[in-house]
Each structure stands twice: as C-alpha cells, then as structure tokens.
Structure 1
Amino acid sequence: MSSATAPHRVSDAPSLVVSLENSPEAAAAARDVAGDFLKGLGPPPGRDASDAVVLIVSELVTNAVRHSRTRACTLSLAAGPGTVTVSVADASPRPPCERNPDVRGAGGGFGWPMVRRLAVSTSVETSSQGKTVSAVVAREGGPSV
C-alpha cells in the first residue's frame, strides 16, 4: 500500500475512523481496515455479516473515489451490540443515485442496489460540506435478521 493511500487511524474500536486519499488503491486499503476492525470485535460478526460489511465498505469507498471527484474520503466503522455501521463521507454533496445496471459491464449501476440489499438500513446525509452515506449491517447475518 502506498503512503498516499495508507489509512490514518483517528480512533479505537469499537469504532474506527480512517481518512483515505481518493485513489484506485483506496478501496483495497479500506477492505483491509474493515477486515482488521471486524476481527478485533468480541465476539466477531458471523461470516455472512463480515462479508457484507467488507463488500459495503468496498462499494461505498469505490463510489466516493469514482463519483465524488474530491481528494479524500473518510471511512467510519462502528460496532453496536447487534450491528456494524459503515459510513463513508466525502466533500461532494451529490447523493448516490440508483440507475439501471449495465449488464454489458461498461457502466456499472449494481453497487448502490447491492448495498441497500445487504444492509438492514441505509441513509444519506448531505450538507454544504458534502455527504455521508451509511449502511447498517446486522452482526449475525443479512437484512432479514
């Protein structure tokens, strides 16, 4: 991982905040941070929940890199008794939008619907400083828990 994309730790578990430079390596760095965070929880979430959290982290950070056109984003992870909350903030006020997926593979459109299916709930908060996209994942499985 290059020094330009290395996360900067701001707080300790059960919550964690890292700043990431918006670069192609940001999603990989964020996945690593999320995996380490989840392993450090006691008890750690189930495998399905952990996979969902890492996938959501990857998607939200990738979206911030691809669509926000800003220099950095902030990943926040917070564990509650039955949930893990993933939040990604960036300086763009433009919220994610659902669009028809491009099944030919050129235009995307699969990520935001996937995040919404994997999470118990999602939210988008916008302000003059940008936006924060959050997803809450049940620690014992998918949205049906």
Structure 2
Amino acid sequence: MDRTAGDSLVLVVSELVTNALRHGGGQYTLALSATEDTVTAEVSDRSPALPRERAPDLNGGSGGFGWHMVRRLTTGLSVIRGPGSGKTVRARIPRAPGTEPDAE
C-alpha cells in the first residue's frame, strides 16, 4: 500500500469510528480485511439510523465533513442493516497508486 492509500485508510477508519461513537450508541466493532487491490474497513454500531450527508458547518465547527470525505476516498461504500437493530458501514479503499476513488 502506498503512503497516500495508507493515509486515506487512516482517515476513513477515523471518520467511521468517530461517527459510530458520536451517533451509533457509543460502542462499535471495527474489522479490517485486504486483497491485493483494496483494503476494506467495516464499522458496526448499535444504531439503526443510517449515515446521512449534511452541509458542512463552515463557521460553527460542528462538523458535516466526514461523510463527504469518506465517499470521496473510497471505491465502494455501503451500509448494511444489522447486526441486530444496528448497522455496518463498509468502505473499500484502493491499495494501488493512481487508482482514482469514486464512491458507489
């Protein structure tokens, strides 16, 4: 994995975990897996509420940037209902240099 892809992975995982803590009930599970081409991060939490985009707060600092960044940095992004009443957010990050991310 090149440095840019590694930085993207760290940022995506940080955003997904932060969202799970803030909006998903305070507990989460993180799973990472890899193939030759991608690294997949899955973050599960207990909340059934789906992630939503919102306009970034440019003045008050209350956020709104995370989901936009995650969508931009991943080649595959999906939300799966479960486990239980919760959800899992799955994000694929390309490992190959020069691969242009594009959210699904």
TM-score where L is the length of structure 1: 0.65
Instruction: Provide structure 1 residue ranges, at least 5 long, that are not aligned to the other structure.
Output: 1-44
In the alignment, is residue 82 of structure 1 matched against residue 37 of structure 2?
A: yes
Is residue 50 of structure 1 aligned with residue 50 of structure 2? no
- The CA deviation string for residues 15-35 of structure 1, in whole angstroms up to 9 with x for no partner, is xxxxxxxxxxxxxxxxxxxxx
Q: Select the structure of larger CA radius of gyration.
A: 1
Deviates more, 1:103-112 or 1:76-85: 103-112
After superposition, what is the alpha-carbon deviation per residue over 1:76-130, rounded to whole angstroms, capped at 9, x for unaligned? 1000110000110011111110000000143210000100000011000113430
Partner Cα distance (1:57, 1:122) in 2: 12
* One-letter amino acid matched to 2:16: L
How many Å apart are 1:140 and its aligned residue?
Answer: 1.7
Match of 2:91 in 1: 135
Pick from 15, 19, 22 the counterpart of residue 63 of structure 1.
19
In the alignment, the residues of structure 2 paired with residue 142 and residue 84 of structure 1 have an alpha-carbon distance, to the nearest angstrom, of 15
More RCO (CA 8 Å, sep 6+): 2
Local SS of the residue matching 1:102:
coil
SS in 2 for 1:129: coil
Q: How many residues align?
A: 100
Query: Aligned-pair distance for 1:142?
Result: 6.6
Find the aligned partners of 1:58 and 1:139 in 2 and give their Cα distance.
18
Instruction: Name the % identity.
Output: 51
- Structure 1: which 4+ aligned runs deviate by more than 3 Å? none
Structure 2 unaligned segments of length 5 or more: list them: none
